[in-house]
Structure 1
Amino acid sequence: MNLKNWSKLFLKTLLVGAIVSIITGFLLPFSRESISFKDAKDVLFYLLILFFFGAMTSVYSQLGFFAYMILNYTAIGVFRRKTWQYIQFALAVLALLEVMFFRSFVGKENSQTADLLLGVVILFVAVATAYFKVKATNPTAWVPTIFFMTAITVVEMVGALQINDNNATIFIVVPLLACNAYQILILHKLLKPKKS
């Protein structure tokens, strides 16, 4: 990964986060109640807030992505490759269980159905992302992709779970999942050596 590829990944992920945040920000209020703007300035200001929130979320996602890459590189040096895959799989399962029952454990009043649904959505996105990653690369990408899309995403969104508001959780999780999926799916293209 050279500086040119990293900056390309950074800017494109920033754009993915901003676009997904804008879409989520406009769809979320309309799903429960109507939102009213006084004039075009209000719409523009709301759009600007959504853009910068998505950009900030993408930076947070990229921190998690590079932390995972360092963790993966270190773990491959410490454990045998097969052992590291088992560890990743176990941690992915624990992360999903945590997200499904986190608010119950910390004593917050919340619908258990919403947490279970969140865990199922994260699992579904992780499996779909892993499927496309395996098609683009090789079968050994299953477990690392599932681990990254579940465990790392859950670590990144713990703050959103503590807010204890389903709309805030959705507003943070959707851009995070989009940015994480984009980064893991594009990584092999950035690391592929150019043909001379």
Structure 2
Amino acid sequence: MKSRNWVRFFLSTLLVGGISTGIIGFALRWSDYQDLFIKFDFLEIISVLFWLFGVGLIFSVISQMGFFAYLTVHRFGLGIFRSISMWNLAQIVLIAFVLFDLVYFRFQVFAKDNESIIPYVLIAIYILVVGLIVAYFKRTSTNKEAFIPALFFMVVVTTIEWFPALRVNEEDWLLLMLIPIQFCNAFQLLMLPKFTQAKKS
């Protein structure tokens, strides 16, 4: 990728992270912020939006670090296993392991007395479903071999990037970090080929 295209890719992903976090942040705490819109407290709205946008930039940088780390890991995986099918099998095992961890270990650590395991299962299912959707579009836009790596990235790498919020385990922060990271990861995964293609003038 040319340096100019890399800069455009980096800035575009930053923008995705900032905007998505701003929208999600207002949506998650709409009951707290709706009075600002009713009173049309412009300065307060801008200050909150600016803060959310800045947090989104941090999420975007984390996402981009994870993305380029995965590109390296993917190459190492192909070199170690010497077979796409074996490397894909290893990735499927890791996907299953991470999803199991998201349910079982989070429930063991954070569940309160008599709390149901269903919310922990639902968040894992949500991450898997989003991963499957993005992987499907990645396969459609490239080739069928891209499905498993894309799913791995959207499930395993997203969960690793999400780890700071997982440790805190506050519902607002869990969703505030997860959804923008998913947007950023999906954007990078689907848009990278368009930024790497050299356009002839």
Same fold by TM-score, threshold 0.5 exceeded?
yes
Q: State the Cα deviation string for residues 124-162 of structure 1 (Å, max 9, x = none).
A: 110110111111111001100000000000111111111
Shift in Å, 1:108: 4.9
Task: Provide the residue aligned with 1:146 in structure 2.
Answer: 151
Q: How does 1:130-169 map to 2 (within 5 A)?
A: 130-169=135-174
Range with bigger deviation, 177-186 or 79-88: 79-88
Task: Provide the residue aligned with 1:2 in structure 2.
Answer: 2
Q: State the Cα deviation string for residues 157-193 of structure 1 (Å, max 9, x = none).
A: 1111111211110000000000000000112223335
Task: Provide the residue aligned with 1:114 in structure 2.
Answer: 119
Aligned length: 194
Distance 2:21 2:157 in 1: 19
Task: Provide the residue aligned with 2:70 in structure 1.
Answer: 68
Q: How does 1:1-196 map to 2 (within 5 A)?
A: 1-30=1-30, 33-35=31-33, 36-37=35-36, 39-80=41-82, 81-109=84-112, 112-194=117-199
Contact 2:25 2:52 in 1 (8 A): yes
Contact 1:129 1:181 in 2 (8 A): yes
Range with bigger deviation, 57-66 or 158-167: 158-167
For 1:120, the aligned partner's letter is: I
Range with bigger deviation, 106-115 or 133-142: 106-115
Contact 2:17 2:180 in 1 (8 A): yes
Contact 1:103 1:162 in 2 (8 A): no
Normalising by structure 2, we get a TM-score of: 0.89
Contact 1:108 1:164 in 2 (8 A): no
Distance 1:157 1:111 in 2: 22
For 2:23, the aligned partner's letter is: I
Contact 2:107 2:120 in 1 (8 A): no
Distance 1:71 1:119 in 2: 23
Normalising by structure 1, we get a TM-score of: 0.91
Structure 2: which 5+ runs fail to align? none
Distance 1:162 1:22, change over 3 A: same
Distance 1:111 1:24, change over 3 A: farther
Range with bigger deviation, 62-71 or 185-194: 185-194
Range with bigger deviation, 76-85 or 186-195: 186-195
User: How big is the alpha-carbon RMSD for the aligned residues of Structure 1 and Structure 2?
Assistant: 1.8
For 2:65, the aligned partner's letter is: L
Contact 1:114 1:166 in 2 (8 A): no
Distance 1:194 1:118 in 2: 41
Distance 1:193 1:55 in 2: 27
